[in-house]
Amino acid sequence: MHTLKEMPFYFVFPQKEWNDMISLLARLFIKPQEDEAAMRKAYGILCGAVGIGLNVLLFLGKFLAGTISGSIAITADAFNNLSDAGSSCVTLLGFQLAGQKPDVHHPFGHGRFEYLSGLAVSVLILLMGFELGKSSVEKILHPAPVDSSPLVLAILCVSIAVKLYMALYNHRLGKKLHSSAMTATAIDSLSDSIATTAVLAATLVGQFFHVMIDGWCGILVACFILWSGYGAAKETIDPLLGTPPTHEFVSRIRELVLAHPSIIGIHDLIVHDYGPGRVMISLHAEVSASENVLELHDEIDNVERELREKLGCDAVIHMDPVVTDDGITQQTRQRVATLVRCIDDDISIHDFRMVSGPTHTNVIFDAVVPFGFRLSDEEVASKIKSAVRALDGNYYAVVNVERSYT
């Protein structure tokens, strides 16, 4: 989960750090603003437009080089750059759609369009790898000499440099914006630079040593591109399916919430990711049952406001009253928690309460286990009930086994 820290969004992009073309264009066309979604949209559109322009220029240069040299590999690489211009269009469109305001049909916004655009770019990377592998096999079966000239070699070298630059700025912006779409575009650009390097190497080897290795180089590059495309696709699919938040983000939430003296514990924390910069969280805050309800409610409102201001996420907090002035309940809770940890250190408990009756006492609580736990829910409940029964024959455990989403 990615959120900005306690600062306006535009401070994430200090002027002195960006001494390149993107920095210059950003200063010319992007106004500093605190709205994260608007700033993401602006940078996404800018980088998409720059990508379209550079890829079209590379297509024209490589197409000229391929025509002069008669190299099918260089011509194919030229059309690959033309497809990259299409990828940049997809990225630009993704940021444009992701930046739309929430509406009646999409109350949580359109931020996941950015993930979808990253997935589309990943698919294009995979298609490029398959096509390059196919053409490389044909070159191995039917090798052909390639003529090279200083102009052709210069165009290929410039192309490699431009693609490395595009990979660099997309990677840097992808990290700062936590954008899977830009990260996928960076991988695409890096794959292109490696593919062009293979074409250049094969051209030079063929020219000076009269050995046709461009097909074999193409196979190696195709494998690298396919692996890169798989990684980029996984990175964009994961947030669409749902991934747990980072430990740092969870720790920050706990730190902010528990800094309020009225809150003695939290549980059932769930983080909802509706796209980069569009996060909602829900949690249960344990408060003393003896405190004034109206004052506690006001404190919870303050916590929700603080989470929104400092972590940029909307929060919904449910108050759970906990008995804190009953020594028997507190002592029993500690003893039960110790018994539960003896079953497995990964199990924790919360919402502990005791209800006494004429014949027995119900010990009621929730037990939290991680996903993929070695025991089934029924086995966990059975072991806990037996342990509580052994603790005191008058105790009957009422256990609800649930999963942790963090």
How many Å apart are CA 137 and CA 270, to the nearest integer?
Answer: 50
Q: What is the pLDDT of residue 225?
A: 76
- Note the pLDDT tens digit of each residue in 28-38: 667 766 566 67
Find, among 81, 120, 80, the residue nearest to 97 by Cα. 120
Pairing of strands 348-356, 361-369: antiparallel
- Note the pLDDT tens digit of each residue in 160-191: 999 898 888 888 888 877 777 788 788 888 88
Residue that is written with structure tokens 């309940």 in the block: 329
Fold (topology level) of 326-406? Alpha-Beta Plaits (3.30.70)
How many Å apart are CA 262 and CA 278, to the nearest integer?
Answer: 28
Q: What is the pLDDT of residue 6?
A: 36
pLDDT range class, residue 8, cuts 50, 70, 90: very low
Residue that is written with structure tokens 């002035």 in the block: 325
Give the list of residues 6+ apart from residue 114 with CB closer than 8 angstroms, or none.
40, 44, 94, 95, 98, 179, 180, 181, 275, 276
Q: What is the pLDDT of residue 303?
A: 94
Find, among 165, 188, 184, the residue nearest to 175 by Cα. 184
Q: What is the pLDDT of residue 13?
A: 41
On the question of a common fold for 9-241 and 326-406, the answer reads no
Q: What is the pLDDT of residue 33?
A: 60
- Note the pLDDT tens digit of each residue in 62-110: 888 878 876 666 777 777 777 778 777 877 887 788 778 888 888 888 8
Task: Report in angstroms the alpha-carbon separations of 326 from 23, 290, 379, 399.
Answer: 62, 11, 31, 21
Q: What is the pLDDT of residue 147?
A: 62
Mean pLDDT of the chain: 82
Domain boundaries, the chain: 9-241, 244-321, 326-406
Beta strands in 171-322 (DSSP E): 263-273, 279-288, 313-322
CB 364, CB 352: distance < 8 Å: yes
How many Å apart are CA 44 and CA 114, to the nearest integer?
Answer: 9
How many Å apart are CA 228 and CA 122, to the nearest integer?
Answer: 9
Does 306 have pLDDT greater than 80? Answer: yes
How many Å apart are CA 47 and CA 312, to the nearest integer?
Answer: 24
- Note the pLDDT tens digit of each residue in 371-392: 888 889 999 999 999 999 998 8
Q: What own/partner pairs with CB < 8 Å and gap ≥ 24 does 50-54 have?
A: 50/21, 50/22, 50/25, 51/84, 51/85, 51/87, 51/88, 51/91, 51/92, 51/166, 51/170, 51/185, 52/85, 52/88, 52/89, 52/92, 54/162, 54/166
Does 226 have pLDDT greater than 90? Answer: no
Superfamily of domain 9-241: Cation efflux protein transmembrane domain (1.20.1510.10)
Superfamily of domain 244-321: Cation efflux protein, cytoplasmic domain (3.30.70.1350)
Q: What is the pLDDT of residue 380?
A: 92
Q: What whole-number percentage of the chain has pLDDT above 70?
A: 88
